[in-house]
Amino acid sequence: MSKQKLPIIIVGGGIGGMTAALALAKKQLFSIVLEQAPQFREAGVGIQFCPNTFKVLDYLGLSKPFTDIAIFPDNLCYRDGLSGLEFVRLPLGQQIVNRFNHPFGSFRRDDVLHTFVEQCRQSPFITLITTAKVIEVQEIDHKVLAKTASGETYEGEALIGCDGIWSVVRKFVIGNDEPRVSGQIIYRGLVPHEKMPQHLDLENIVHYVRPHAHLVHYPIGNHGDYNISAIFQSDRMPDPHEYKGNREELFSWFEGSRPEVMDILERVDTSRMWALCDRNPIAEWSKGRMAMLGDAIHATLPYLTSGAGMAVEDAVVLAKYIHAMDRDYPSAFKAYQKERYLRTAYVQLLSRAYGDVHHSSGVARELRNEMISKRSVEENYQWVSYLYSGIEIN
Ligand SMILES: Cc1cc2nc3c(=O)[nH]c(=O)nc-3n(C[C@H](O)[C@H](O)[C@H](O)COP(=O)(O)OP(=O)(O)OC[C@H]3O[C@@H](n4cnc5c(N)ncnc54)[C@H](O)[C@@H]3O)c2cc1C
């Protein structure tokens, strides 16, 4: 391979950007990560990694640091939030390892990013720069330039946009298409163990689904904390940049729910809300020496808990082609998008459909409860098999 004279520029230091840097470093490729914020940090409370995500971490040699900060819940449960009927109980723990070779774990988001940052800092191939908000990117004479809001210009051999759902890079690569506002609104909570209702099964991930809304609680990380999320399908299209919470509106969507649901809802932080957005799947992810990964290209609703999982898979596939094609970036990026776009479209589209199933009412709700509760554990594993089995990595 010819000598690398300039780094690969990675715009955005979230889970996608960090994994891209580590995957490139594993192939002995230099990169520079430009992050707009003054510090690397994750928005939100908890995050779950499915077995396919752990498969990527394992390949990158990160199983140990991530196992150290994870908790491994016993079961993934779905219950009807009105009747209490449990219609799914998917064993996680050792059983999911036996079935898919890798675990299902959950984390505090800040622990996850901190661990990625520490790993990047130890690599001689990675430079991390904060307070570097990229405002313009361009390709000139077999090089890329990234200009920041504070007036610096960074030069690279190629550029990867990992700058999330509101990606600036995307505007230069794809054009001015906006994210899709789903109409769903989420509230979150980070609750210590002693403040959770102790009679609930706190060692599981439990979803309570009901018409137009659902609530989930699960343990996160090794500090004894819990993530709570409450989502409803609003009858308005919220402004995605509006964050002020409205307790009355939230509680009105959960009226009539089981007492345990209302009990947990009381522990949600009602001061802030987020409008959930996603993207329509597309097949073109790159232009010349610029490509994108993660939420910048295929942001998804959270119903398969796989947005970050897709970002880390993108990262290793991208590094594989850059290396295998001897840094012929335009060709490597085309090969990368070809391998990735259907799998990520599956997550985007199925997440929307699962959201509808979560929030169904009337006969659709009855049908869901009746049909899904009849499935065996093996049948439930088969439903997630395409996703959880993961990708071929080399
Ligand atoms: C409610 C909810 C629950 C979820 N739960 C899960 C889950 O359990 N499991 C899972 O796998 N996924 C989950 N996801 C999805 C997951 O959070 C995202 O898919 C993942 O974080 C995307 O990572 P990213 O690096 O692509 O983007 P981001 O995390 O958005 O990171 C983008 C980074 O780029 C920076 N940036 C932005 N613009 C610029 C710029 N112009 N210049 C420089 N830097 C910039 C940002 O500051 C940020 O650090 C969930 C999502 C939601 C909304």
* Mean per-residue pLDDT pooled into runs of 10, the chain (394 residues): 92 98 98 97 91 98 97 98 97 98 97 97 98 98 96 98 98 94 96 93 96 98 93 90 94 97 96 97 98 98 98 98 98 98 98 97 98 97 98 92
Q: Does 198 map to a domain?
A: no
Query: Which of 34, 35, 48 to mutate for ligand 1's pocket (most ligand atoms within 8 Å of CB)?
Result: 35
pLDDT for position 277: 97
Secondary structure letter of residue 123 according to DSSP: -
**Phi, psi for residue 240 in degrees, rounded to 5:** -65, -15
Q: Of 106, 252, 102, 92, nearest to 187 (Cα)?
A: 252
Q: Does 370 map to a domain?
A: yes
What CATH number is associated with residue 85? 3.50.50.60
Q: Does 132 map to a domain?
A: yes
Is the C-beta atom of 73 inside 6 A of ligand 1?
A: no
Q: Does 213 map to a domain?
A: no
Domain that holds residue 91: 8-178+280-388
Is the C-beta atom of 47 inside 6 A of ligand 1?
A: yes
Question: 292 alpha carbon to ligand 1 midpoint, in Å?
Answer: 13
Query: Which residue's alpha carbon is at the smallest distance from atom 26 of ligand 1?
Result: 294
Question: 226 alpha carbon to ligand 1 midpoint, in Å?
Answer: 20
Q: Does 342 map to a domain?
A: yes
Q: Report the number of distinct structural domains present in the chain.
A: 1
Could you give the C-alpha distances from 20 to 120, 133, 167, 224, in angstroms and in order? 10, 18, 16, 30
Query: Which residue's alpha carbon is at the smallest distance from atom 28 of ligand 1?
Result: 164
| Cα gap 387→378, rounded to integer Å | 15
Q: Does 108 map to a domain?
A: yes
> Measured from the CA of 311, which atom of ligand 1 is nearest?
26
Question: 2 alpha carbon to ligand 1 midpoint, in Å?
Answer: 33
Is the C-beta atom of 128 inside 6 A of ligand 1?
A: no
Q: Does 253 map to a domain?
A: no
